[in-house]
Chain A
Amino acid sequence: MYRFASMLAIALLPVVWLSACGGNSVPELKKVEKKDVIVVARGDKSEILDPHATNSGGDAYLIQQMYDTLVQPSAKPPVRWEPCLAESWKDEDFKVFTFNLRKGVKFHDGADFNAAAAKRSFERGTNLKDPAAPPKLPYAEEYFGDIEKIEAVDDFTLRITLKASNPKFIASCGLFAASIVSPKAIAAMEKEANAGARQNWLTRHPAGTGPYTIAKEGDYQGAETVIMTAFDGYWGGKAATSRVVFNHDKDHKKRREQLTSGAVQLIDSPAPEDWDLLSKDTGVTLYSWEAENLCYLGLNTDAANGFATSKLEVRQAIAYAIDREQMLTLYAGTAKAHHVLLPPVMIGHPAGYRPSTDTGSRAERLEKARALLKGAGVEKLELKLLHPAVSRPYLGKPPEVADFIRQQLAEIGITVKPEPTPMRELGDIISKGTAPMVLIGWMGETGEPDNFWTPLLSGRGKPSDNNVPRFWDKDVAAKVDAAAVERDISKREAMYLELEKTVHEKFRPMVPLLTAKQAVAWRSEVEGIYVDSTGTYRLHKAHYKE
């Protein structure tokens, strides 16, 4: 009897606990019909949903469902900038930009969108000293560092004056990093003393003007699951499907199975080996495109960090030893070997040019690499190689590519220690230059060559936060700046060709490896999904076919 009573008491414990917890009334529970939900399975994670604080593509895809910018990319390539929160704009010699803002737009938190709100958002997103700023603003310096003045001329006119003429400024205003954040949210962030807390604030309380929002705190379940709800007050008309759920799943086979079985409606960046299978599945639409991306090996050039890669001979030796063909086997025909900075789809891509380290037979190149190392007095070398812990659109299998590099460099006596690193940590390591080698990549967001040159191999007066090699050369930086504002296309192309030659022959701060086609796959019973000209999938028009 006694034992029975003890067991009963133990069994009833959760019920007693529940009674204690459940003082409030039961929240209304509603079963959502399948037609009202789109589930997305992603290999990438979303960790910082603050448009100003992140530079991760994994975050950007989600941010772009919730936030708007003044201008937006065209639905179809080539990239053109079209009205969004700004209905129209004009410029005076690309120096003073005046935006006529859209009226009747509301933020998710109920605040009104107007020129003062846009001004406050730009201030927060471009100035690290702003009281509401997160600890890092990865895009601020190179894209908005030339802003001299931001003025709310009247309720719906915003004027931005630059220090010098900059024709690509409009493209910068279309970057997700220029998303407009509610002034009410910014005021709340100002009260947070800790910069880290300010960075995480928007992740749990999104405050944009976009078609979707995270309705309550519990809907952001870490990086694993994010539930978005259609924003009733969206200026473009309420999204066609009321809920979108983003799930993270590292395993590409599981993502594929989920899509083919209909458990999810969209997967982004399907693994290349799955493309064939997906394209043959009648229930699935596979959309692929030649993307503006680049996968490369960044070699730290900064002598102050004390890495052997700061010696030109070591960097050249590494470039000689890299064999891209081996890596391409991992991409099942969806990637091409790449030898320069700009991808083939961009203006300024030097078709046919190959740096001298990338020519000749492998045996010859290995011999040259060994000779270079010997000449530099570096015959036995150990180097850390950091790479993203999760797959990227241009790097589906980071550990495998890193391992190929390890094997290839072993042939010239360099011992490589690959280290998978979470994206949020990798960004900081890159900006501080605390790793000798980083396997990483870049996805273009504006269609401008400068969107590759300035962040990756230049900066504003110093290497930009995304400049993995921490490469800085005054002449190169000046030429990058000059090419960005050159309006004569043929002159501009010649300038970029010269830059490619100078950088790869004279400095070798990175070894470009490949460019990869990108893809998104979705269930054919869903229509209205589109991938815009910058490669971002947009979901607000997505709905199930009748």
Chain B
Amino acid sequence: MFAHIARRLLAAVPMLIGISLVSFLLLHALPGDPAAALLGQRATEENKRQFREQAGLNLPLHEQYLRWVSGVMRGDFGDSHASNRPVLKELAERVPATIELAVGAMLFATLIGVSLGILAALKPRSIWDFVCLAFALIGVSMPIFWLGFLVQKLFAGTMKILPFGQRLNYAGWEGFEPQTGFFVIDAIFYYKNLDLTLDVLSHLFLPSLVLATVPMALIARITRSTMLEALKQDYIRTARAKGAKPASVVLKHALRNAFIPIITAITTQFGYLLGGAVLTETIFSWPGLGRYVIEAIEVLDARPLQAGVLLIASTFVLMNLLTDISYSFIDPRLRKREAS
């Protein structure tokens, strides 16, 4: 199994190099002078000239790339000209917000999606199956911005039981300082405050639910089809003949064997969500990575843009890598093949 993991890790290296190249070249792809993209529109010609020399923008492209990569390896992503703050510091604030939202969304998507998929597969062509498929279709096709506004209006505007957006009711807490950047963890383990935890969770609920709709629908459909396939297999008939309980047949025998495509769907979707959910983050004023990149594009702020793209693409590679590795855990045939 370790050989399998090592092979996968090695295969990811060229991909990461390619990503770093694309991210680096973004600076030169932005309209206008790279020095202006790094310093902002305010920079004078003299500022730009000095900066070109200091930052090595006059060097050949490959040398500039090596300089940039070595900086990135040391955690130096440069400074944002819009805020004059180190990009690393800003990413440290944004990434946990995106991870928290993605985890919340994937919890919804997996729990509801897998349950609906199983239900549909157990009663094919029944009303349950129809409802699950319709639900999946709506989930995939409903525009996020519309759904977002709808749930805001209903739960926050009319019923007043959930907040409109943001990660926390900032107005309502004096002295709150993020520790890990993950507000749920901060509230539970650091502040150990139930009210704060409930406040954070209530803010996470609606954006997670809205963000979960697309992956939920995909997971439900994939679970349905793989479970249908699995339930027709001989080993299921054997398990039933042996007198296994129906729940055990479904969850232990069928679901486990159907799980590889489901895991692939879950991790791929999680990779997408970690890339920052621009629309959801915008609708719910969620200060995550997706909005960070969009804000950088709006003001042509090169360093945050490079770092954001690098991070999003690398996350995607990492998620695929984890998917591959997880197969070895789930599928004993793969482990045996590795062992032999």
Q: Is there an interface contact between A262 and B173, defined as CB atoms closer than 8 Å?
A: no
- Find A424's partner among B172, B180, B299 (CB 8 Å cutoff): B299
- Find B84's partner among A34, A197, A224, A425 (CB 8 Å cutoff): A197
- Tell me the smallest distance from the CB of A259 to a CB of chain B, in Å: 10
- Tell me the smallest distance from the CB of A8 to a CB of chain B, in Å: 14
A260-B157, A263-B163 in contact; A422/B298 too (CB < 8 A)? yes
A196-B40, A218-B177 in contact; A245/B171 too (CB < 8 A)? yes
- Find B196's partner among A17, A29, A197, A389 (CB 8 Å cutoff): A29
Task: List B182-201 residues whose CB lies under 8 Å from chain A.
Answer: 182, 185-186, 189-191, 193, 195-196
- Tell me the smallest distance from the CB of B180 to a CB of chain A, in Å: 5
Task: List B133-158 residues whose CB lies under 8 Å from chain A.
Answer: 149, 152-153, 156-158
- Find B172's partner among A3, A37, A135, A261 (CB 8 Å cutoff): A37
Q: Is there an interface contact between A30 and B153, defined as CB atoms closer than 8 Å?
A: no
Q: Is there an interface contact between B185 and A18, defined as CB atoms closer than 8 Å?
A: yes
State in angstroms the CA–CA spacing of A260 and B164 once bound together. Answer: 12
Q: Is there an interface contact between B180 and A14, defined as CB atoms closer than 8 Å?
A: yes
Q: Is there an interface contact between B173 and A30, defined as CB atoms closer than 8 Å?
A: yes
Which residue of chain A has its CB nearest to the CB of B199? A31
Q: Is B41 an interface position by the 8 A CB rule?
A: yes
- Find B299's partner among A225, A249, A422 (CB 8 Å cutoff): A422
A3-B329, A218-B178 in contact; A389/B298 too (CB < 8 A)? yes
Stretch in A19-27, A269-277, A371-379, A496-504 with 4+ CB within 8 Å of B: A19-27
Chain B residues with Cβ below 8 Å from A257 are: 152-153, 156-157, 164
State in angstroms the CA–CA spacing of A14 and B96 once bound together. Answer: 11
State in angstroms the CA–CA spacing of A485 and B164 once bound together. Answer: 52
Chain A residues with Cβ below 8 Å from B58 are: none
Q: Is B176 an interface position by the 8 A CB rule?
A: yes
State in angstroms the CA–CA spacing of A34 and B173 once bound together. Answer: 10
A27-B175, A27-B177, A196-B81 in contact; A261/B156 too (CB < 8 A)? yes
Q: Is A15 an interface position by the 8 A CB rule?
A: yes
Chain B residues with Cβ below 8 Å from A284 are: none
- Tell me the smallest distance from the CB of B138 to a CB of chain A, in Å: 22
Q: Is B174 an interface position by the 8 A CB rule?
A: yes
Q: Is there an interface contact between A221 and B287, defined as CB atoms closer than 8 Å?
A: yes
Q: How many residues of B contact A (CB 8 A)?
A: 49
- Find A261's partner among B158, B166, B195 (CB 8 Å cutoff): B158
Q: Is there an interface contact between A30 and B175, defined as CB atoms closer than 8 Å?
A: yes
Q: Is A351 an interface position by the 8 A CB rule?
A: no
- Tell me the smallest distance from the CB of A99 to a CB of chain B, in Å: 33
- Tell me the smallest distance from the CB of A148 to a CB of chain B, in Å: 27
Q: Is B340 an interface position by the 8 A CB rule?
A: no
Chain B residues with Cβ below 8 Å from A195 are: 42
Q: Is A200 an interface position by the 8 A CB rule?
A: yes
Q: Is A380 an interface position by the 8 A CB rule?
A: no
Q: Is there an interface contact between A200 and B190, defined as CB atoms closer than 8 Å?
A: no
Chain B residues with Cβ below 8 Å from A243 are: 171, 174
Q: Is there an interface contact between B171 and A227, defined as CB atoms closer than 8 Å?
A: yes
- The interface size bin for chain A is 35 or more
Chain B residues with Cβ below 8 Å from A429 are: 41
State in angstroms the CA–CA spacing of A225 and B164 once bound together. Answer: 14
Q: Mark A520-542, 1 if CB is under 8 A from B, else 0.
A: 00000000000000000000000
Q: Is there an interface contact between A18 and B190, defined as CB atoms closer than 8 Å?
A: yes
Chain A residues with Cβ below 8 Å from B173 are: 29-32
Task: List A133-176 residues whose CB lies under 8 Å from chain B.
Answer: 135-136
Q: Mark A221-232, 1 if CB is under 8 A from B, else 0.
A: 110110100000
Q: Is A103 an interface position by the 8 A CB rule?
A: no
Q: Is there an interface contact between A194 and B166, defined as CB atoms closer than 8 Å?
A: no
- Tell me the smallest distance from the CB of A281 to a CB of chain B, in Å: 12
Q: Is B83 an interface position by the 8 A CB rule?
A: yes
Q: Is A46 an interface position by the 8 A CB rule?
A: no
- Find A18's partner among B163, B172, B179 (CB 8 Å cutoff): B179
State in angstroms the CA–CA spacing of A297 and B243 once bound together. Answer: 81
A254-B152, A429-B41 in contact; A29/B164 too (CB < 8 A)? no
Q: Is there an interface contact between A21 and B171, defined as CB atoms closer than 8 Å?
A: no
Q: Is A92 an interface position by the 8 A CB rule?
A: no
- Find B164's partner among A30, A200, A258 (CB 8 Å cutoff): A258
Chain B residues with Cβ below 8 Å from A136 are: 42
Which residue of chain A has its CB nearest to the CB of B145? A251
Chain B residues with Cβ below 8 Å from A26 are: 190-191
- Tell me the smallest distance from the CB of A360 to a CB of chain B, in Å: 40
Q: Is A28 an interface position by the 8 A CB rule?
A: yes
- Tell me the smallest distance from the CB of A249 to a CB of chain B, in Å: 6
- Find A39's partner among B85, B152, B171, B196 (CB 8 Å cutoff): B171
Q: Is there an interface contact between B175 and A196, defined as CB atoms closer than 8 Å?
A: no
Q: Is there an interface contact between B299 and A21, defined as CB atoms closer than 8 Å?
A: no
Task: List A186-200 residues whose CB lies under 8 Å from chain B.
Answer: 194-197, 199-200
Q: Is there an interface contact between A15 and B189, defined as CB atoms closer than 8 Å?
A: yes
- Find A32's partner among B85, B172, B177 (CB 8 Å cutoff): B172
Q: Is there an interface contact between B171 and A37, defined as CB atoms closer than 8 Å?
A: yes
Chain B residues with Cβ below 8 Å from A310 are: none
- Tell me the smallest distance from the CB of B230 to a CB of chain A, in Å: 21
Q: Mark B70-109, 1 if CB is under 8 A from A, else 0.
A: 0000000000011111000000000000000000000000
Q: Is there an interface contact between B177 and A425, defined as CB atoms closer than 8 Å?
A: no
Q: Is there an interface contact between A29 and B191, defined as CB atoms closer than 8 Å?
A: yes
State in angstroms the CA–CA spacing of A32 and B196 once bound together. Answer: 12
Q: Is B285 an interface position by the 8 A CB rule?
A: yes
A3-B329, A28-B175 in contact; A14/B182 too (CB < 8 A)? yes
Q: Is A428 an interface position by the 8 A CB rule?
A: yes
- Tell me the smallest distance from the CB of A361 to a CB of chain B, in Å: 41
Task: List B294-324 residues whose CB lies under 8 Å from chain A.
Answer: 295, 298-300
A22-B190, A428-B41 in contact; A29/B160 too (CB < 8 A)? no
- Tell me the smallest distance from the CB of B260 to a CB of chain A, in Å: 16
- Tell me the smallest distance from the CB of B87 to a CB of chain A, in Å: 13
Which residue of chain B has its CB nearest to the CB of A40? B171
Chain A residues with Cβ below 8 Å from B190 are: 18, 22, 26
Q: Is A334 an interface position by the 8 A CB rule?
A: no
A37-B171, A196-B42, A254-B152 in contact; A249/B179 too (CB < 8 A)? no
State in angstroms the CA–CA spacing of A301 and B177 once bound together. Answer: 51
- Tell me the smallest distance from the CB of B27 to a CB of chain A, in Å: 18
State in angstroms the CA–CA spacing of A164 and B52 once bound together. Answer: 44
- Tell me the smallest distance from the CB of B292 to a CB of chain A, in Å: 9
State in angstroms the CA–CA spacing of A218 and B178 once bound together. Answer: 9
Chain B residues with Cβ below 8 Å from A425 are: 41, 299-300
A29-B174, A29-B191, A196-B84 in contact; A247/B285 too (CB < 8 A)? yes
- Tell me the smallest distance from the CB of B334 to a CB of chain A, in Å: 14
State in angstroms the CA–CA spacing of A254 and B166 once bound together. Answer: 13
Chain B residues with Cβ below 8 Å from A199 are: 84
Chain B residues with Cβ below 8 Å from A222 are: 83, 287, 295
- Tell me the smallest distance from the CB of A255 to a CB of chain B, in Å: 9
Q: Mark A480-503, 1 if CB is under 8 A from B, else 0.
A: 000000000000000000000000
State in angstroms the CA–CA spacing of A14 and B186 once bound together. Answer: 10
- Tell me the smallest distance from the CB of B97 to a CB of chain A, in Å: 11
Which residue of chain B has its CB nearest to the CB of A53? B42
Q: Is B254 an interface position by the 8 A CB rule?
A: no
- Tell me the smallest distance from the CB of B36 to a CB of chain A, in Å: 10
Q: Is A253 an interface position by the 8 A CB rule?
A: yes
- Tell me the smallest distance from the CB of A28 to a CB of chain B, in Å: 5
Q: A222-B83, A263-B163 are in contact. List 11 more A-B contacts (CB 8 A).
A: A21-B180, A27-B177, A29-B176, A194-B84, A196-B39, A222-B287, A224-B287, A225-B166, A247-B166, A257-B164, A422-B299
23 A/B residue pairs, CB under 8 Å, sorted by A: A14-B185, A15-B189, A18-B185, A22-B179, A29-B193, A31-B174, A37-B172, A221-B170, A222-B83, A225-B170, A225-B285, A243-B174, A247-B166, A247-B285, A251-B149, A254-B164, A254-B165, A257-B157, A261-B158, A263-B156, A263-B157, A422-B299, A428-B42
